[in-house]
Structure 1
Amino acid sequence: MAHHPIDDANLVQAYLTHARVEKRLADRSLTLYRAALQRLLELAAAHGVGLRDVGSHVIRQGVAGMHAAGRSPKGIALVLSGWRGFYVWLGREGQVGSNPVSGVRAPKAGRPLPKALDVDDAVALAAYTDADEDPVREARDACIVELLYGCGLRIGELVGLDVAASAAARGWPDLDDGVVHVLGKGGKRRSVPIGAQALAALGTWLQARAAWAGAVPALFINPQGGRLTPQHIRWRLRQRSARSGLATPVHPHMLRHSFASHVLQSSGDLRAVQELLGHASIGTTQVYTRLDYQHLARVYDAAHPRAGRKPDRG
């Protein structure tokens, strides 16, 4: 089929009109489609073919080019979506016999590493005390940080804790045995050791808690005696991390990640970390080996005399 550039431009314009009028796409979506189809025009021209003659190999090369240029997998997927819709429409119009975008997928997004504090920042946050805060609230918030970082609890596990064991309790701390019993995902129970600092913080909070205690058995309560919500804990933790001087706003899951990566760095025992976190699969826990590698790489780059050195010339 002969290549007529003006025909291609007209095809693109006709499709955009169809998308605006028939599909009633929003202006933002139309802008994205227009940019994607302009890229397709350039790709086809670079291969010396018209839009009707573009094959899947051309589409794949376009994807490879975007990937090499640093475009995100999500961005590439958006472009492919625009191309796919265009060729579906061309097929309905009888302009092409097959869709060259069918079966072409964007590269998989790399699994993002969990954000974890370094050891010094995590310890600084756990050791921080706010002298200007109400003593009862201060004791509560300090205990929350100690249990999140010291035991690696999920936020849902933390708010579900009661003061003591009961038939209705989802979880509770056992100060005599030095463990906290929690109900994790999938109704799976586990027991996590409580470190000396967290035990001390728990003892201080349990004494202070009497000033607020209402009828609820919840371990962590507000001044009215009600059980704390995850949203309130997230808000208090962001405030506390800012006041302690940390550059990064801290959220509860970041302390869980910090717990996991710091235990792994010290012990190297992936299976133990899996048990402590309550992961059903070791594969979920293995992401922390990547965190550990990043830590080792940073230490190497900072400490080794030949790390990152440019080779001498001459």
Structure 2
Amino acid sequence: MSAGAALRPADAALIERYLEHVRVEKRLAARTVTLYGLDLEKLGQFAVQDDVGLTAVQGTHVRRWVARMHAGGRSGRGIALILSGWRGFYAWLGRQGLIQANPVQDVRAPRQPRPLPKALGVDEAVQLAEHVAESDDAWLDARDAAMVELLYGSGLRVGELVGLDVAASDGALQAGRGWIDLAGAEVQVQGKGAKRRAVPLGRQAVAALRHWLALRGQVVAVDAAAQALFIGRRGTRLTAQAIWQRLKRRSLQAGLATPVHPHMLRHSFASHLLQSSGDLRAVQELLGHANIGTTQVYTRLDFQHLAQAYDAAHPRARKR
């Protein structure tokens, strides 16, 4: 350990003994042992700075050091990993009878700010929805277009999309699947927690679904045994993985800078709807969120959009 010379000899010996313990007795990988050593080197540096022996460290010391790491730009996740290494070291010291209590036991890393969901701009979403593939079979393009319209136009989760049937049936109800109702311009889905909800279908989604259903019979004969709305070449229900792959392919073909995944379209649906309506409760209902706190992340996304517009347009926004 490079900082060993700065440590009290007894502390440096304890760290070396612990690293030998995890290497020989716990048989951890060499890379893991190296990472443990780096974490304990940082612990030793803090102890030297505060003139405290490792066996005399208290929770107050550890919290102070966490604050220093956080102020220095270390992420909450990075700090949590360091604390995990320290916690293991002090648990070992406790088993050796060298300390009475683990000073890291009740110390937690700062919470990471929840990352904002990635959403497309309105123009990008429309570009993806209106893209017409040149090389794919007509039925494939019609199917993919209908999937995009449901993901972006109705905010469905990919699992909800996979589970859609052509129409309501006893089998769909028993299996917890959803279905489309073109006459009523809505889609019935079963979301998280087995909760059912009805989501409106926009005019473009209805048109795309009618077009897809007219071509669907080219893939498989429509009968009672083939109720899946979205199917592949073999007539079987599409998987979530297949939908991810098709969306990525379509977004690249459409010329979008970022590959699109299903949840990005759900985020785009929520963000664009909130920007236009400002009705958080309505967005919550349409997304099927049990807690409005989950939906409130889109208010941050909406504010980010407004802040970007301000920075780009207002003469007092920033120096140029």
Shorter-chain TM-score bucket reads over 0.9
Could you tell me how far apart the structure 1 residues matched to 2:233 and 2:14 are?
A: 66
2:171 match: 168
Could you tell me how far apart the structure 2 residues matched to 1:251 and 1:260 are?
A: 15
Could you tell me how far apart the structure 1 residues matched to 2:185 and 2:164 are?
A: 15
Q: Secondary structure at the match of 2:165?
A: coil
Could you tell me how far apart the structure 2 residues matched to 1:110 and 1:266 are?
A: 26
Within the alignment, does 1:112 sit opposite 2:119 as a pair?
no
* Residues 4 and 106 of structure 1, relative CA distance in 2, 3 Å threshold: closer
Deviation at 1:301, TM superposition (A): 0.9
1:186 match: 193
Bigger Cα displacement from structure 2, 258-267 vs 208-217: 208-217
Pick the aligned partner of 2:249 from 235, 239, 244. 239
Number of equivalenced pairs? 308
Amino acid aligned to 1:130: A
- Percent identity, aligned pairs only, is 63
CA-to-partner distance for each residue in 1:113-164, whole Å, 9 max, x for gaps? 2111111111111111112211011110111111110000111111111111
Bigger Cα displacement from structure 2, 70-79 vs 38-47: 70-79
1:309 match: 319
Q: Secondary structure at the match of 1:309?
A: coil
Pick the aligned partner of 1:154 from 147, 152, 157. 157
Within the alignment, does 1:144 sit opposite 2:147 as a pair?
yes
Within the alignment, does 1:36 sit opposite 2:46 as a pair?
no
Bigger Cα displacement from structure 2, 41-50 vs 95-104: 95-104
What pairs with 1:194-273 in structure 2 (closer than 5 Å)? Answer: 194-214=201-221, 215-273=225-283
Amino acid aligned to 1:186: G
Deviation at 1:309, TM superposition (A): 3.0
Amino acid aligned to 1:154: R
Deviation at 1:4, TM superposition (A): 6.8
Per the normalisation by structure 2, the TM-score is 0.93
CA-to-partner distance for each residue in 1:24-55, whole Å, 9 max, x for gaps? 22212211110010001110110112212222
2:28 match: 25
Amino acid aligned to 2:244: R
1:80 match: 83
Per the normalisation by structure 1, the TM-score is 0.94
Unmatched 5+ stretches in structure 1: none
Amino acid aligned to 1:160: G
Amino acid aligned to 1:131: E
Could you tell me how far apart the structure 1 residues matched to 2:230 and 2:150 are?
A: 11
Pick the aligned partner of 1:286 from 285, 289, 296. 296
Could you tell me how far apart the structure 2 residues matched to 1:164 and 1:101 are?
A: 57
Deviation at 1:293, TM superposition (A): 1.0
* Structure 1: 4+ residue segments shifted above 3 A: none
Could you tell me how far apart the structure 2 residues matched to 1:185 and 1:121 are?
A: 28
Could you tell me how far apart the structure 2 residues matched to 1:52 and 1:115 are?
A: 46
Could you tell me how far apart the structure 1 residues matched to 2:293 and 2:249 are?
A: 34
* Residues 113 and 4 of structure 1, relative CA distance in 2, 3 Å threshold: closer
CA-to-partner distance for each residue in 1:249-289, whole Å, 9 max, x for gaps? 11101101110010001000000001111111111111111
Unmatched 5+ stretches in structure 2: 1-5
Deviation at 1:81, TM superposition (A): 1.1
